[in-house]
Structure 1
Amino acid sequence: RLTGTFVLSVFTAVLGSLEFGYNIGVINAPQKMIEQDYNATWLQRYGEPIPSGTLTSLWSLSVAIFSIGGMLSAFCLGFVSEWLGRRKAMLINNLFAFIGGSLMALSKLCRSFEMMILGRFIIGAYCGLASGLTPMYVGEIAPTSLRGALGTLHQLAIVTGILIAQILGLEVLLGSQELWPVLLGLTVVPTVLQMSFLPFCPESPRFLYIVRCQEHQAKRGLRRLTGRQEVGDMLAEMKEEKRKMEMERKVSILELFRSPLYRQPIIISILLQLSQQLSGINAIFYYSTSIFIKAGVQSPVYATIGAGVINCAFTVVSLFLIERMGRRTLHMLGLGGMCICAVIMTMALALLDSVPWMSYICMLSIFGFVAFFEVGPGPIPWFFVAELFSQGPRPAAMAVAGFSNWTANFIIGMGFQYVADLCGPYVFLIFAVLLLFFLIFTFFRVPETRGKTFDQIAANFNERSVGGMMDMDMDMDLDKPSTELDYLGEESIN
């Protein structure tokens, strides 16, 4: 049953995801006002208006340095989560959010665009750690039957944060010349809440028992989370995982790629993260406002918010489907739907000037693209990595996966504009090809993890790697879709 402690722990953890999403979306609405303040600061310092090229560079740096901070901190995730523990790492990580939010909020008062850029970097560092710590903690405290649904809450909190930022960024609310520092500074609110609630949340029992060898504390945490006095069955599962982990060497990031046992799951993890960022979702939001304008929408900003609402709604749909249809099936459904929408959008954009009503097809394609993204590629890659690895290699794997996600995010953010200028409306064909590749890869290489313990999932890959070394034919058989992997996982446990 769901206890108050368990609900509080999950809610507190996903506050970090909410703040992550808020900082993704908050910088777009006040762009013009922030650029005006950059110009005013430059004029005060040097007695002349800021050159347009310098202004563009400063703004691009203000946006992109967020991803750089995320890349660097995500790569440190494994070390931080093992050194401090999941809960304490989340608690200390809030210091980055508080410092970053304060710097951004005070940058206008202090007439310093350096404070804004530094604040964006620090808040990016916070988000890089939060993007790994949240699904790791939630995945470790969640029961097997709810792990997928609860893992989706990470993405739901992200898109909710984006939507909140879009709404508060309206000029009638906080997106004005006077109030935009308040808009950016509001990021400290989830920080204060999380710092207040975390002391009442237990540390991950799986971490306490397997990594710290603290059986008594692990039992106490399990009892608080489950409301049961007898937790021997869950402790037995962790004991078996610990026993197998002790038979392995300490897993480093290099070992993930060198060992046949970990090589395939880490490649799957990286490509799942790339399927999220290289799907074109950020490009869709980039084009959405101009397409809505061509469609005759009086207030395109509200149409963009409508796309954000669809973003949230279909994340909720994924929440209910994830344990019924499975991760692999939903991810393939999302990739396939996005691929079709990308092709339709390319055709509609190409015909937009000659066939005016094609703008409405573009709008429907945008909404469909966003909906399919949140069904699969949006939420699934974040928690799928935590499911593919046992306790030992999980922190290193989360660090590699998070670094891959942030790096792809940075590349898209910096390079998309140049590719779009070169290819025009046909830029979405590139994304369609990438989506088709990720769909084929998922079909042939990604196993189903629904309803399995971490030990069973690891056993599947163990069977596959051993089979590949013994017999190539057996390896080909093991690569078949999930039903056969389920059978092999059960056989290995038996």
Structure 2
Amino acid sequence: PPPALSLTGTFVLSVFTAVLGSLEFGYNIGVINAPQKMIEQDYNATWLQRYGEPIPSGTLTSLWSLSVAIFSIGGMLSAFCLGFVSEWLGRRKAMLINNLFAFIGGSLMALSKLCRSFEMMILGRFIIGAYCGLASGLTPMYVGEIAPTSLRGALGTLHQLAIVTGILIAQILGLEVLLGSQELWPVLLGLTVVPTVLQMSFLPFCPESPRFLYIVRCQEHQAKRGLRRLTGRQEVGDMLAEMKEEKRKMEMERKVSILELFRSPLYRQPIIISILLQLSQQLSGINAIFYYSTSIFIKAGVQSPVYATIGAGVINCAFTVVSLFLIERMGRRTLHMLGLGGMCICAVIMTMALALLDSVPWMSYICMLSIFGFVAFFEVGPGPIPWFFVAELFSQGPRPAAMAVAGFSNWTANFIIGMGFQYVADLCGPYVFLIFAVLLLFFLIFTFFRVPETRGKTFDQIAANFNERSVGGMMDMDMDMDLDKPSTELDYLGEESIN
């Protein structure tokens, strides 16, 4: 057996540097909410200066919606390019160059007030969205590839922990007494360049992913050197042997395009699982809570809704840490199901509490507790797990294309919720969360029947499981469902849970 793992300085620095991208992603999700009224006042002042009349309310609503939603459009487009960019530049260089987007986007937003230009603000949000789209795929890909099998789940959770920490920092700094004031909101938006500068400073000291160097670039010497730096061990033959086996299997399969993922029976099931896991994260209703938490808390009769929102942010971070410790003990599938089930129950309780609020005043406390519970269960499962599960379900060949498809699905669902929730909420009133409860129940049933457990398995073993199933499935069809050799989905999941 390989010697006990020791966390080297290089390994810690590499993981920390990579997740700075996730921190910035979270910061840009959370930063736009607090200063909304101030930014709208500036849009009005700009319009008044240009056209000599106040901005029409419909135009202001459209400009504000565009400022929020264009972030997701930037993310959707860049997430789709992830496979090509990560293969062409490599994981580390792609992260380094991606920082240019963050720097340009942050600078445009910070200078938009000074230049009296809402166009600069909207363009800045689009460019920072493009940065986040790439970062949301590059971070889990790089961390997943440099992490040892025993730590891959826990380290994969760090991506989500950094996102929620970024959201919380943005919420706190967005308080009016800090940077959420009329004068200082451009500083609040411009602060996004701080993690960028840090990441650009540290990345040259981090090794490229040895898995990428050996399997994609065929650079065995550099891969060995990277492994030695990351592990602190001179003898890295066992790790190289695992990569060799993965490379050998990969060379037997053709280069995988995005279309191939859906056409090939080998990849069809894992890509469908990947897409639905991403949808289970975004369509769970969590973004509805974060985008509109202040108005939900006002409806529930909370005195200081902004502090209640920050309270939800603190719970968000705390339970991501809980997930970090549970993920290698309980497994990905179990935690994901626990999170989905808990959220479903909280959504039903929240609906009842909101419906009874007018007649039973103390329901406001039940409403708050159910929101906090909803957020806590999200961070136990659907928050962190979909991001790195995709990297685990695919071998090196199809992984970049799969990450691109999964990222695109995530951003598209994010955009739909961001644009559509307010209209649906106005239509359904307090019963809007019943829609999310039904979706959560569907995702729970899907996870139970279709999603395998990946804890403690190498990338190669996970890919081999799907290969066996698809080959087994084709053989069964050829043999006209031979009864001597049953190979059902439930048998497989039974074996997985025993494992």
Q: Give TM class, smaller chain.
A: over 0.9
TM-superposed CA distance for 1:289, in Å, is 2.2
TM-score between the two structures when normalised by the length of structure 2: 0.95
Report how many residues are paired.
493
Change (3 A) 1:462 1:168: same
Change (3 A) 1:475 1:362: farther
Please give the per-residue CA displacement for 1:395-429, whole angstroms capped at 9, x wherever unaligned: 00000000000000000111111111111111111
For the pair 1:428 / 2:420, whether they are aligned, the reply is: no
Structure 2, unmatched stretches of 5+, are 1-6
Whole-angstrom CA distance in 2 between matches of 1:487 and 1:227: 38
CA contact (8 A) 1:334 1:374 kept: yes
TM-superposed CA distance for 1:471, in Å, is 1.6
Change (3 A) 1:224 1:422: same
CA contact (8 A) 1:459 1:493 kept: no
Please give the per-residue CA displacement for 1:159-200, whole angstroms capped at 9, x wherever unaligned: 000000000000000000000000000000000000000000
Change (3 A) 1:256 1:373: same
TM-superposed CA distance for 1:146, in Å, is 0.1
Whole-angstrom CA distance in 1 between matches of 2:159 and 2:151: 14
Moved more, 277-286 or 23-32: 277-286
Please give the per-residue CA displacement for 1:332-357, whole angstroms capped at 9, x wherever unaligned: 00000000000111111111111111
Structure 1, unmatched stretches of 5+, are none
For the pair 1:139 / 2:134, whether they are aligned, the reply is: no
Change (3 A) 1:151 1:489: farther
Change (3 A) 1:474 1:379: farther
For the pair 1:37 / 2:42, whether they are aligned, the reply is: yes
CA contact (8 A) 2:22 2:160 kept: yes
Please give the per-residue CA displacement for 1:116-143, whole angstroms capped at 9, x wherever unaligned: 0000000000000000000000000000
Whole-angstrom CA distance in 2 between matches of 1:480 and 1:43: 76
Whole-angstrom CA distance in 2 between matches of 1:476 and 1:52: 64
TM-superposed CA distance for 1:291, in Å, is 3.9
TM-superposed CA distance for 1:18, in Å, is 0.0
1:228 aligned counterpart, secondary structure: coil
Give the equivalent residue in structure 1 for 2:63. Answer: 58
Whole-angstrom CA distance in 1 between matches of 2:374 and 2:337: 14
For the pair 1:199 / 2:243, whether they are aligned, the reply is: no
TM-superposed CA distance for 1:292, in Å, is 2.8
Change (3 A) 1:430 1:489: closer
CA contact (8 A) 2:476 2:482 kept: no
Change (3 A) 1:479 1:258: farther
Change (3 A) 1:182 1:396: same
CA contact (8 A) 1:71 1:402 kept: yes
CA contact (8 A) 1:460 1:485 kept: no
CA contact (8 A) 1:345 1:362 kept: yes
CA contact (8 A) 1:342 1:429 kept: yes
1:70 aligned counterpart, secondary structure: helix
CA contact (8 A) 2:300 2:354 kept: no
Change (3 A) 1:481 1:40: farther
Moved more, 79-88 or 459-468: 459-468
Whole-angstrom CA distance in 1 between matches of 2:485 and 2:317: 33
Whole-angstrom CA distance in 2 between matches of 1:487 and 1:354: 51
Change (3 A) 1:109 1:359: same
CA RMSD, aligned part only? 2.8
Whole-angstrom CA distance in 2 between matches of 1:483 and 1:158: 38
Change (3 A) 1:475 1:93: farther
Change (3 A) 1:135 1:479: farther
Moved more, 133-142 or 348-357: 348-357
Change (3 A) 1:399 1:478: farther
Change (3 A) 1:153 1:242: same
TM-superposed CA distance for 1:44, in Å, is 0.6
Change (3 A) 1:315 1:493: closer
Please give the per-residue CA displacement for 1:25-77, whole angstroms capped at 9, x wherever unaligned: 00011101100100110111111111111011000000000000000000000
TM-superposed CA distance for 1:472, in Å, is 6.0
Please give the per-residue CA displacement for 1:207-247, whole angstroms capped at 9, x wherever unaligned: 00000000000000000000000000000000000000000
Whole-angstrom CA distance in 2 between matches of 1:490 and 1:231: 32
Change (3 A) 1:149 1:477: farther
TM-superposed CA distance for 1:470, in Å, is 1.6
CA contact (8 A) 2:449 2:493 kept: no
TM-superposed CA distance for 1:282, in Å, is 1.4
In the alignment, which of 147, 154, 169 is matched to residue 149 of structure 1? 154
Moved more, 38-47 or 132-141: 38-47
Moved more, 108-117 or 345-354: 345-354
1:159 aligned counterpart, secondary structure: helix
Change (3 A) 1:363 1:163: same
CA contact (8 A) 1:87 1:198 kept: yes
Change (3 A) 1:486 1:115: farther
Moved more, 355-364 or 309-318: 355-364
Superposed structure 1 runs of 4+ greater than 4 Å apart: 472-494
